[in-house]
Amino acid sequence: MTNSVDALPLEITNLNFTYRIRTTPAINNINLSIKSGELMLVAGASGSGKTTLMRCINGLIPRSYRGVLEGEIKLFGTPITEMEMSDLSQQVGTLLQDPERQIVSSHVMNEVAFGLENLAWERERIIERVDETLDFLNISFLRDRETFTLSGGERQKVALAGILAMHPKVLILDEPLASLDPASAREALELFRRLADDGISIMLVEHRVDEVLGIKPDSVFYLDEGREIYSGNPAGLMDTADYHRIKLPAKVILERAKKDEPISFDPVIKKLSKIKQEDKLLEFKDVTFSYDSSLPDVLHNISFDINKGDVIAVLGHNGAGKSTLVKHALGLLKPTEGDVLLQGLSSKEDTVAHAAETVGYVFQSPGHMLFAPTVEEELSFGPENLKFAEEIIKENVDWAIKTVNLEEYADSPPLALSYGQQKRVSIAAILSMRSRVLVMDEPTAGQDYWNYRSFMDSILEMPGFDSIVFITHDVDLAVVYANRILLLSDGKVMADGSPQEVLGDEEALKACRVLPTSLLEINQERFSQTGRFMRAEELAHVL
């Protein structure tokens, strides 16, 4: 080995990779380097090659993902082709986008200790390092928890603890904010900044560019269709990036959109509000729930209705009970106390199969849903089981694939796609069933700005849905698309009302770890002029 203390932690030269099942390169002629203690933001739309780049660095390409690899990657002067995987994994730590894929142990303590155990450390030393890492991340309270009881955001933190316990010199973070509430995301970003300041080289791949800019990344690497578009300081990204595809700060979008032709926006929220009727589709009556009688209640005495025309955003901190709550809508969970009525029928008397004819549920983790050999077969499964006519199935599947922009992947295996693409397949699988009530858990996690706007617009414009409920940590998604917001904290409903009412209560937001965004602030400032919340591109031509 030629490892040198003076060598750069990471240096990539003329890197190309084409997957075995593809004819065009996923990344093309990539050149970049990272210095010690540098925090680099890697930005780009879905499918731009970000995940492929990371797989090349951490050795998953070509060991797990096969294809044609060209170019060179060096860690501290040593080509990674000369390194054993065990040595590479100690130098490079990778936090995957989906924590479900990363957690292998049933208890938090064991999960964080897993890598150290594989290095044959002594037990006392492992316990000391685990406790030190949990304390560093402020999650010592999770130490003795079972991993299956954790929320998505808590799993993400535990997965990160397992990596940091190994003391990597290079840290690759793949969409680390996707499962985190706004306050946790800010804390995580501040932690990443601190880790970089302590000397760790960090490559941070993230769609939530606006938030990452808040910690002043040292550099930005912007990809599109596998090629470098921009590499340099963060300020240069504001003028270079396509603001339709990359979520830039609202004020930047506002100024750039003023120079472009106005885009026609259909105010779907107004349209849905007009058709709203006193037609109760779902009723939650004093719902209390616990996963086990020996554990504390997760939900506490919750009551609210879901009516025709509602587009409800469910906001709240990690572990607030959001996913647990919406799983009651389909009867996946039954109340410990109280009742849930679907069009007057108690979930305790109903079956999930029957409820699925009315309620479509998109899980937070696509891995919990996907199983079919191809995307097209995945989307056909639901309508076939609901006994739809063959021509209707084809029509629904074609529409659903188009809605989530995955036409070119119709014949691909869903589980071979990226996390963001899998997420879109899971949404399309429910869209193809044309349920009256659509329930989505974190629908935009792992999605670029253009894709999530595209499918949310399509969903809201379809006449088939009577009501839509979505859990989200993306406050801007609630600002633009919801006509009602449910704010949860510690298993209780803290607020239920219009976006203007709920998002205007700063104390309630703070208590629920929900932070105002630049788009929310602009909308609140100009609400007297506009009369409704709007996306930045629209505000540019209205103000």
- The residues near 385 (Cβ < 8 Å, ≥ 6 apart) are none
Residues 127-154: what's their mean pLDDT? 89
| pLDDT-derived band at 272, boundaries 50, 70, 90 | low
Q: What burial class does residue 500 get, using C-beta atoms within 10 Å of its C-beta: 0-12 exposed, 13-18 middle, 19+ buried?
A: middle
Single-letter amino acid code for the residue at 8:
L
Q: Which contiguous run of DSSP H or E holds residue 57?
A: helix 50-58
Q: Are 131 and 143 within 8 A, CB to CB? A: yes
- The residues near 540 (Cβ < 8 Å, ≥ 6 apart) are 253, 254, 255, 257, 258
Query: Closest by alpha carbon to 464, among 375, 373, 360, 344?
Result: 360
The DSSP secondary structure of 438-507, one letter per residue, reads EEEESTTTT--HHHHHHHHHHHHH-TT-SEEEEE-S-HHHHHHH-SEEEEEETTEEEEEE-HHHHTT-HH
Running DSSP on this structure, what letter comes out for residue 173? E
Between residues 99 and 521, the one the model is more confident about: 521
Query: Closest by alpha carbon to 341, among 484, 437, 432?
Result: 437
Query: Closest by alpha carbon to 214, among 180, 179, 259, 249?
Result: 249
CA 357, 360, 365, 369 dihedral sign is positive
Q: Are 357 and 343 within 8 A, CB to CB? A: no
DSSP lists the bridge partners of residue 232 as: 220
Question: Which residue spans within 318-463 are E strands per DSSP?
Answer: 337-342, 345-346, 359-362, 437-441
Q: What is the pLDDT of residues 398-423, one digit of tens each?
A: 999 988 888 989 999 998 887 778 88
For the cut 50, the answer to whether the pLDDT of residue 372 exceeds it is yes
Q: What is the pLDDT of residues 466-485, one digit of tens each?
A: 899 999 999 999 999 999 99
Q: Report domain 268-505's class.
A: alpha beta
Q: Are 54 and 38 within 8 A, CB to CB? A: no
Residues 152-162: what's their mean pLDDT? 85
* Per-residue model confidence (pLDDT) at position 271: 52
Running DSSP on this structure, what letter comes out for residue 261? P
Chain-centre distance of CA 124, in angstroms? Answer: 36
* Per-residue model confidence (pLDDT) at position 269: 52
Domains 10-102+151-241 and 268-505 share a fold: yes
pLDDT, the chain, mean:
89
* Per-residue model confidence (pLDDT) at position 78: 94
Q: What is the pLDDT of residues 277-288, one digit of tens each?
A: 557 899 999 999
For the cut 50, the answer to whether the pLDDT of residue 1 exceeds it is no
For the cut 60, the answer to whether the pLDDT of residue 518 exceeds it is yes
User: Three-state DSSP class for 144?
Assistant: coil
For the cut 60, the answer to whether the pLDDT of residue 523 exceeds it is yes
Running DSSP on this structure, what letter comes out for residue 264? P
- Helix H, strand E, coil C: the string for 529-540 is HHCCCCCHHHHC
For residues 348 and 287, give the distance between their C-alpha atoms in angstroms, rounded to a whole number: 12
Residues 41-60: what's their mean pLDDT? 91
Range from 13-17, 144-148, 241-245, 451-455 that averages highest in pLDDT: 13-17
* Per-residue model confidence (pLDDT) at position 532: 85
The CATH number given to 10-102+151-241 is 3.40.50.300
Between residues 318 and 199, the one the model is more confident about: 199
Q: Compute the CA torsion angle 162, 166, 169, 171 (nearest 10 deg).
A: -10
Q: What is the pLDDT of residues 65-97, one digit of tens each?
A: 899 999 999 999 999 999 988 888 889 999 887
Q: Is the pTM of this model over 0.85?
A: no
Q: How many CB atoms lie within 10 A of CB 528?
A: 7
For the cut 60, the answer to whether the pLDDT of residue 155 exceeds it is yes
44 backbone φψ class: left, alpha, beta (φ>0; ψ -120 to 50): left
User: Three-state DSSP class for 339?
Assistant: strand
Q: Which residues of 261-295 are buried (b: 16+ CB within 10 A; e: fewer)?
A: eeeeeeebbeebbeebeeeebbbbbebebbeeeee
For the cut 70, the answer to whether the pLDDT of residue 100 exceeds it is yes
Tokens of 496: 């239920």
Q: Which residue has the tokens 């840290």?
A: 171
For residues 455 and 424, give the distance between their C-alpha atoms in angstroms, rounded to a whole number: 9
Considering only 147-161, 216-230, 383-397, 507-521, which range has the smallest mean pLDDT? 147-161
For residues 234 and 239, give the distance between their C-alpha atoms in angstroms, rounded to a whole number: 10
* Per-residue model confidence (pLDDT) at position 280: 87
Between residues 436 and 227, the one the model is more confident about: 227
* Per-residue model confidence (pLDDT) at position 264: 62
Q: Are 431 and 459 within 8 A, CB to CB? A: yes
In percent, the amount of the chain with pLDDT more than 70 equals: 95
Q: Map out the domains of the chain as residue ranges.
A: 10-102+151-241, 268-505
Length of the chain: 543
User: Three-state DSSP class for 432?
Assistant: coil
* Per-residue model confidence (pLDDT) at position 43: 94
Considering only 172-176, 268-272, 337-341, 525-529, which range has the smallest mean pLDDT? 268-272
